[in-house]
Homo-oligomer: A and B are copies of this chain.
């Protein structure tokens, strides 16, 4: 029986997670869920971000379903470094998985791009690079200030995420992997990424490969996103590219993500890419689709690929069936999806 920790979080996080759980319970009736109160609200109330005892409790779960955390009242970095990134690092969630599809019924901001034409997944490294937090400030706030940020990359960390990307490509129809980096400027890290990529590539002779600089990839995601199948890249580049991929497939309303430890040695975490959206929180108008699609990624990760497919197909069908101009409530969408997967 799957044991899921639920971190609904702040703002619309609680609203969309409720719907994701509703759908999850239909396809996985015996799921055990435990709620954890984490995020801006708790921080503002208690000063706590992620107590060690909570971290230990989370560790005992098969997966974490997260809504969204954050509020303008919390200084930048507190929840990001102290909660989200801490979980990604402590639970060795090295595959940050972000699929982008242009679903039937959705409109891309790109002229002439039709539903079905974009279907890519970014495998973003999740435990290294510039996200490790190495660096510092000398003489802060003075004219002499110097600030550093250090990107740390290991062959171990890079190779395993590249291998995961190839394995995913092998299960997809096209079977193509694009490595994105900036090897012509970041020659140290770029060299390591290129070496690891070439080594893994030799293990997958049937997979088509290409390399692109991150600036070129950012451009092609706008001018020709159809060219991508699986994209593998580092932590920071992945952060940026996945937002472009979300933008060209109709925005973050449908963008799901998983922070995955493929070996299941630690719980993986699934969350919509969107934030807590304080401006629309509490109104019941948030679209729960990205949260539901994140639950589908969770199902897939826990070994229920058919249930996962049923859930994501239900989301696709619901989106396609929407009447332009008449928005459904968060709950109504959740009800429709729950009924569809039943």
Using CB atoms and an 8 Å cutoff, list the residues of chain A in contact with chain B.
76-77, 80-81, 85, 107-112, 130-131, 133, 135-137, 140-156, 182-192, 195, 214-216, 218-219, 222-223, 236, 239-244, 246-248, 251-252
**How many angstroms from the CA of A81 to the CA of B244 in the assembled complex?**
28
* Contact in complex: A77, B187 (CB < 8 Å): yes
Specify which chain B residues have a CB less than 8 angstroms from the CB of A243 in the assembled complex. Answer: 215-216, 218-219
Find out whether the CB atom of B153 lies under 8 angstroms from the CB atom of A146.
Answer: yes
A-B contact list, 24 entries, CB within 8 Å: A76-B187, A80-B184, A85-B185, A131-B185, A135-B150, A135-B151, A136-B188, A144-B155, A145-B192, A146-B153, A147-B152, A149-B186, A149-B188, A149-B189, A151-B151, A182-B236, A218-B240, A218-B241, A219-B243, A219-B244, A219-B246, A222-B247, A240-B240, A244-B244
Of all chain B residues, the one with the shortest Cβ separation from A215 is B243
Contacts of A77 in B (CB 8 A): 183-185, 187, 190
- Whether B153 lies near A148 (C-beta < 8 A) is yes
Nearest residue in B to A74 (C-beta to C-beta)? Answer: B184
Bound Cα distance from A138 to B192, whole angstroms: 10
Q: Which residues from chain B contact A182 at a C-beta distance below 8 Å?
A: 236, 239
Docked pose: A248 CA to B142 CA in angstroms:
39
The 10 closest A-B pairs by CB, nearest first: A222-B247, A147-B192, A145-B155, A135-B188, A111-B111, A215-B243, A76-B184, A149-B151, A219-B243, A80-B184
By the criterion CB–CB under 8 Å, are B156 and A147 in contact?
no
In the complex, the answer to whether A148 meets B219 with C-beta atoms within 8 Å is no
> In whole angstroms, what is the CA distance A219 to B247 when docked?
5
Q: For the complex, what is the distance from the CA of A218 to the CA of B217, rounded to whole Å?
A: 12
Q: How far is the CA of A145 from the CA of B156 in the complex (A)?
A: 8
Out of B85, B147, B239, B242, which one reaches A189, CB within 8 Å?
A: B147
Query: Which chain B residues border A248 with CB–CB below 8 Å?
Result: 222
Contact B236 A218 (CB under 8 A): no
User: Which of B130, B141, B187 touches A186 (beta carbons < 8 Å)?
Assistant: B130
- Please judge, given known A-B contacts A109-B222, A240-B240, whether A147 and B76 are in contact too, CB under 8 Å: no
Judge whether A76 and B183 touch: CB under 8 Å. Answer: yes
Smallest CB separation, A16 vs chain B (Å): 19
Residue of B nearest to A150 (CB): B150
Q: How far is the CB of A199 from chain B (nearest CB, A)?
A: 9
Contact (Cβ within 8 A) B143 A155: yes
Q: Distance (Å) between the CB of A243 and the closest chain B CB?
A: 4
Chain B residue nearest to A214 in the complex (CB): B240
Point out the residue from B85, B110, B215 that lies within 8 Å of A111, measured CB to CB.
B110
Contact between chains at A240 and B223 (CB < 8 Å)? no
